[in-house]
Amino acid sequence: MTVVIGFEGSANKIGIGIIRDGEVLSNPRRTYITPPGQGFLPSDTARHHRAFILTVLKEALEQAGLKPADIDCVAYTKGPGMGAPLVTVALVARTVAQLWGKPLLGVNHCIGHIEMGRLITKANNPTVLYVSGGNTQVIAYSERRYRIFGETIDIAVGNCLDRFARVIKISNDPSPGYNIEQMAKKGSQYVELPYTVKGMDVSFSGILSYIEDAAHKMLSSGQCTAEDLCFSLQETLFSMLVEITERAMAHCGSQEVLIVGGVGCNKYPEAFKFCIDNGAMIAQAGWEMFRSGQVTELEDSWITQRYRTDEVEVTWRD
């Protein structure tokens, strides 16, 4: 049986998970949360990860009931993500691999999401909607690559939601998107917003600029409530995502959709347990890669902030 430990820390979550042949043995994490109205900076996020990573590592091993000798491979997030947090986690993963005498594997963050989703849902060959704070892509597998059929041409959907949350001072605990969703449930008036789909691609920066400007005017004049704006933004953004996902499904002849990434935790689209960033997803992708013969040599174990999903050769699928 193959046991892989995975280190994830590309954004504001530090997580370490252990997978044994498709079974999640442990998956603890910590989340860096900033005050309302503030985003998280790379240096502060990296400082948070440094403070907690050894504690989380200890928890992962204890919850799994394993010792370092039981681990077959150490996987870590190579990218994409924020530079300073990625480097922090990569350094620890490299150190652990050397101390334990185990092979190392750099994993693409998006592919971690996809492989975890495939494991949990048992989906065979789904069209993937990857929606998070830093990424928005529609993906399908073809000829040993996860091909990007459509994506955002500017900011990610999660970033759009997070930045709007700052405008109206919504709490970041547990996440801005979750709190927008709760407020949206109380909204009753739809405020028309720009809807920008260009073929298979989407654009969110214009919507954000429009609603940032409109929010102050409409709220101060009493034209609508903050709940109405949350409802309108969520409906518009998700409608755009549904449109490009359906188009990709038609193109690929697919009957399955897999939603991954932090925004997938919103009730609409429906959530899955392992959508948010976590160590187990890196362990699962690492497990697939390691079983197919892949390892990362120490001199090649750098991080890549802009690591495209379709750059990875998928050696573990037919």
Binding residues are: 109, 113, 130-134, 162, 177, 181, 266, 277
The annotated binding site for substrate is made up of: 130-134, 162, 177, 181, 266
Per-residue tokens: 136: 């928005």
The annotated binding site for a divalent metal cation is made up of: 109, 113, 130, 277
Q: Are 279 and 25 in contact (CB under 8 A)?
A: no
What's the CA gap between 183 and 203, in Å, rounded?
A: 24
Cβ-in-10-Å burial (0-12, 13-18, 19+) of 247 comes to middle
What's the CA gap between 190 and 220, in Å, rounded?
A: 17
